Amino acid sequence: MIFQKNRDEVLKADILFMVLDGRIPDEGACVELGIAYASGKRCYGIKGDARSVELDMDINPMITGCFTKLFYNLDNEELLKSLEEYLKENQL
């Protein structure tokens, strides 16, 4: 029941915006990303957290391959600047 409600909400959305901070990406968010990507939605990711980098891990290419654009910078001020610049020139 929870899965179906969540899936239905993802399918109603225009875009998916996934926060990738943390030791690993959230499993539920990864499922949502897969649903959105498979449905042809534009998917965006943002990561400004160094925990996975400190463990010598990068973001899985099966996840990053779904993104229309990934905003990735460990300097949070620079991360926000890159997002702002993108939004000036592009529509989500």
CB atoms within 10 A of CB 45: 22
Per-residue model confidence (pLDDT) at position 52 = 64
Query: How far are the Cα atoms of 6, 8, 79 from residue 2, in angstroms, in the given order?
Result: 6, 10, 33
Residue 31: which residues within 8 A CB-CB, separation 6 or more? none
Strand duo 42-47 + 69-72: pairing: parallel
Could you say which DSSP state residue 4 is in?
A: H
**Is the CATH code 3.40.50.450 the one for domain 2-89?**
yes
Per-residue model confidence (pLDDT) at position 56 = 54
- Span 8-64, pLDDT tens digits: 999 999 999 999 988 888 999 999 999 999 999 999 999 988 776 555 557 888 998
Tell me the pTM.
0.84
